[in-house]
Amino acid sequence: MSTDLSPIDKAKYAAARRASEMVEDGMRVGLGTGSTAAWLVRCLGERVRDEGLRFRAVPTSTRTAELAREVGIEVVSLGDAGWLELTIDGADEFDADLSLIKGGGGALLHEKIVATASDQMVVIADAAKEVDTLGRFPLPVEVIGFGWQATQALIEEALASLDVDGRDTKLRMDGDAPYTTDEGNRILDLQLGRIGDPRQMALVLNQIPGVVENGLFIDICDRVMIGHSDGRVETRDLATGTVTEDQADEGGNLFTDLDG
């Protein structure tokens, strides 16, 4: 493993490396978006090159699709793939119930569609992503561009009756212009501090006109693989309630051309 990587980057790599071993020939696999997912794609590309692994991938963003094609992975649409055996993705936060906040990379809508069209969703993350209560990371909410200010006002009104510590909402920007998702929508980031009832929050948000989807992933994640900087990977399986720990395969340096 590259000695130039930070401890957090080494942890992300370890989780990605270990998760890449779950992919088998002939599978249909959803590939997430973000820095950890990018390392997963690199690891899978190495297996395609060195082991002749063949599988069909459904990326959750144009960024992931471009990287997957670059490393030799076959990319197909979700419509062409149909149901998926496995989706592997990162998370901005996860709790003990494996509830997640996702969408920091702006792909929450595609990520949720792909994850729920899979037999199993596996999250790969470093230990810093674990929290006692969701909400420290801003909750992304994807909204349509038309009347987004009205949608924002309705969200802020709804937050007044929910169990949260903060109620600030901000339009995500990309430089001087609003950030635009792959579906042409915008994202509002909710600075909540703490979400007392994530399930209620998700239901309330998705009833507001103009909201396309929110970044709370409830009852979707089946397993989380937590990487550590020394190469250890802790795996928590929600269905079995088991926790296992092993060492990620210390392969070659896959990161010389990655931004991190």
Q: Which residues are annotated as a binding site for substrate?
A: 33-36, 89-92, 102-105, 129
The rounded distance, in Å, linking the Cα atoms of 80 and 18 is: 27
User: What is the torsion angle, in degrees rounded to the nearest 10, for the CA atoms of residue 94, residue 179, residue 9 and residue 139?
Assistant: -20
Q: Using alpha carbons only, what angle is made at residue 79 by residues 76 and 99, rounded to the nearest 5 degrees?
A: 90
Integer Cα distance of 186 and 141 in angstroms: 8
Count CA within 13 A, CB hemisphere, residue 7: 5
End-to-end CA distance of the chain: 14
Q: How far apart are CA 133 and CA 196, in angstroms?
A: 7
- The verdict on whether 111 is a catalytic residue reads yes
Report how far residue 142's alpha carbon sits from residue 196's, in angstroms, rounded to the nearest whole number: 21
Find the catalytic residue in 24, 46, 70, 111: 111
CB-facing half-sphere around the CA of 117: CA atoms within 13 A: 22
Residues designated as active site: 111
